[in-house]
Amino acid sequence: MAVIPAGALTGPLIPHLDAGLRRHNKVASAAAAIQLRIALHAGQVHADDHGVTGQVLVHLFRLLDAPAFRQYAAASSAGLTLVVSDDLYASVIRRAERPRDRGKPVRTRSHAARFIL
């Protein structure tokens, strides 16, 4: 299990992943191109003999599998698409917001989130 401060994920990690995917996809064949969907959320998980569990993981995977996000990612030519929970957006990203980080508000089955475009 990795413990990562939420601010670290909104800092250089995402732009570095995006840049690496762009470089790879620029020279890769269509069959070898990579499209990565990322969901970000923060909260407590509980470790046991089988791994980690917790409601935060259920929320995270609902964000990742939300039909609106899946459709957006499938229609996008971007190598990386990102959805962020409203909680994480409000507590971390909005505070360090740059104009392009405002994102598009969306609803998943039971949670609010934002695409970062």
Q: How many residues are given for the chain?
A: 117
Q: Report the SS3 class of residue 104.
A: strand
pLDDT of residue 35: 92
Residue with more model confidence, 5 or 25: 25
Enclosing domain of residue 61: 6-116
Residue 10 scores a pLDDT above 70: no
Q: Which one-letter DSSP state was computed for residue 83? A: E
pLDDT of residue 105: 57
Residue 16 lies in a domain: yes
Stretch among 12-16, 64-68, 75-79, 102-106 having the lowest mean pLDDT: 102-106
* Residue 48 CB partners (closer than 8 Å, separation 6+): none
Residue 1 lies in a domain: no
pLDDT of residue 1: 42
**Which residues in 71-110 are b (16+ Cβ under 10 Å) and which e?**
ebbeeeebbbbbbbbbbbbeebbeeeeeeeeebeebebee
Domain total in the chain: 1
